[in-house]
Amino acid sequence: MIAEQIIHGILLAFHNIALVGCAAAPFYNRNLVLKRSQYGPKLHYELDKVVEETIQGNAPYCMVFISVLFITGIGMPVNHYLFHGTFQTLPPVALTALVLKLGFVFAMMVIMAKIFFGLNPRLSELFNGFKPDVDPDLELEKEFFGKRARRKSLCDTCLWFALGVLVSSAFIGFGG
């Protein structure tokens, strides 16, 4: 059925774009953080402002990518069901890959929730208390860089999960 194939192709295209976005965001954020770390855990107001605005500005994109990934991931089997009245049977390799992929996506969602709703608001609050050309309170600066280090660690983990999503996706069509 050509209509089924067209719908599947559109869903798969958006799904693949979201997959790339899910991997690209933590990859580029990680590179930015690594470049910033060359200056040490001492506040450089303008530099840190750019880092915070960039990383926190990417949060909505991450949410969109993971939402598109989830919606299109559900849409493809539903599309098959609507045209055939049954869900497609997957061979063991593809089924294992699907379970792994869902686990990776869920883990990414948990990490993003911790970052977006826990760390980022506190980092914003701390940074908003800093002023250009004024030495920050040492305890607040220490907390700021501690929270940043935690966010970096979570983003590194998220990057590995995103790579897991990409790799497992390649095996879902196995045997089909």
Note the pTM of the prediction, 2 decimals: 0.85
Residue 173: pLDDT above 80?
no
The predicted model gives 146-155 an average pLDDT of 93
Domain boundaries, the chain: 2-172
- Determine the Cα–Cα distance for residues 98 and 95; give it in Å rounded to an integer: 5
| pLDDT above 70 coverage of the chain, percent | 98
Query: Residue 70: its pLDDT value, please?
Result: 87
Mean pLDDT taken over the chain: 91
* Torsion (CA) 116, 119, 122, 127 in degrees, nearest 10: -90
Query: Residue 5: its pLDDT value, please?
Result: 93
Residue 84: pLDDT above 70?
yes
Query: Residue 175: its pLDDT value, please?
Result: 53
Query: Residue 111: its pLDDT value, please?
Result: 92
Query: Residue 11: its pLDDT value, please?
Result: 94
- The pair of three-digit structure tokens given for residue 102, joined into one six-digit string: 């869902």
Cα 46 to Cα 10, 80, 119, 121, 164, distances in angstroms: 42, 52, 20, 19, 35
- Determine the Cα–Cα distance for residues 36 and 110; give it in Å rounded to an integer: 26
Q: What are the tens digits of pLDDT across the range 117-137? A: 999 999 999 999 999 999 999
Query: Residue 93: its pLDDT value, please?
Result: 92
- Determine the Cα–Cα distance for residues 79 and 70; give it in Å rounded to an integer: 14
Q: What are the tens digits of pLDDT across the range 36-74? A: 999 999 999 999 999 999 999 888 888 899 889 889 989
